[in-house]
Amino acid sequence: METPMRILVIIPAFNEARSIGRVVGDIPAGLVEEVVVVNNASTDETEANARAAGATVLREPRRGYGHACLRGIAYAREKNPDVVVFLDGDYSDHPEEMTALVAPILRDEADFVIGSRMLGEREPGAMLPQALFGNRLACFLMRLLWGARFTDLGPFRAIRFSDLLALEMEDQTFGWTIEMQIKAVLAGLRTTETPVSYRKRVGVSKITGTVSGSVKASAKILWTIAKYGVMPRRRRRRASKKSPSGFQGS
């Protein structure tokens, strides 16, 4: 009989006490082996509520979305799951859609699945105009630079753990999601998208709902595109002058 894949969920959470229990509670029973909430220096009851809902709680004192995800990956190395699912802690995503999200990996049709909010149903106001614009621009640039056909930088995503480790993720803040997509394309992973629903978050908005959060996130996303797109191209040109074989990818 085929062994089911072992799935570990990583949820970065900064002050999500009002939502975290619902997020953990709505993950389909029996689908995943472990749910890990990374408490990113919360000052509310995030940790207690996550634990009460049955999650493993880790602590990452350095603030930043990427820092929290990296902490989750360090823990996952000890458990060595087959698949890791990332999910936000604000109850904007619909955790019950995880079954559909991981399906292409379980069927061995993909290594990396992005939950696309553009292809799914968005509650009006769940994604603010600046977030919609930023996503479209980033996806357009990824298509222009690498021919990648993404429609979203959504946080709800699933990836084979061995492939995730090979990507050597390093972003510590808002560039996390796009870094993973760019590196997945450069690494030649089989990538696909699945429609996911998105609703207004529970609790206080921290990134796209604030001016400073939007500016910082946009700047970091554009900087990340430049880092992996423009700069390697320059190096590639320099390298091709020196060697006939030139630059061979990431």
The residue ranges that bind ligand GTP (CB under 6 A) are 12-14, 16, 40, 63-65, 68, 88-90, 92, 201, 205-209
| Separation CA 243–CA 126 (nearest Å) | 50
**Paired strand residues for 147:** none
Distances (CA, A) of 170 to 51, 176, 179: 27, 8, 8
| Separation CA 42–CA 26 (nearest Å) | 22
Residue in 119, 52, 127 with CA at minimum distance from that of residue 88: 127
**Site membership for Mg ion, residue 214 (CB under 5 A):** no
Q: Which of residues 5-64 bind Mg ion (CB under 5 A)?
A: none
> Which one of 201, 217, 220, 221 is in contact with Mg ion (CB under 5 A)?
201
Alpha-carbon torsion (136, 184, 229, 220), positive or negative: positive
Q: Compare residues 12 and 104 and give the one whose CB is closer to ligand GTP.
A: 12
Non-local (6+) Cβ contacts of 37 within 8 A are 11, 13, 20, 24, 46, 47, 50, 55, 56, 57, 58, 89
Supply the minimum distance, in Å, between the C-beta of residue 61 and Mg ion.
21
Supply the minimum distance, in Å, between the C-beta of residue 49 and ligand GTP.
12
Q: Compare residues 71 and 201 and give the one whose CB is closer to Mg ion.
A: 201
Q: Compare residues 59 and 233 and give the one whose CB is closer to ligand GTP.
A: 59
Q: If contact means CB under 5 to 8 A according to the sort of partner, which of Mg ion, ligand GTP, none does residue 16 touch?
A: ligand GTP
Q: If contact means CB under 5 to 8 A according to the sort of partner, which of ligand GTP, Mg ion, none does residue 64 touch?
A: ligand GTP
Q: Compare residues 49 and 92 and give the one whose CB is closer to Mg ion.
A: 92
Supply the minimum distance, in Å, between the C-beta of residue 97 and ligand GTP.
16
**Site membership for Mg ion, residue 94 (CB under 5 A):** no
Residue in 209, 168, 174, 162 with CA at minimum distance from that of residue 186: 168
Q: Which residues bind Mg ion (CB under 5 A)?
A: 90, 92, 201
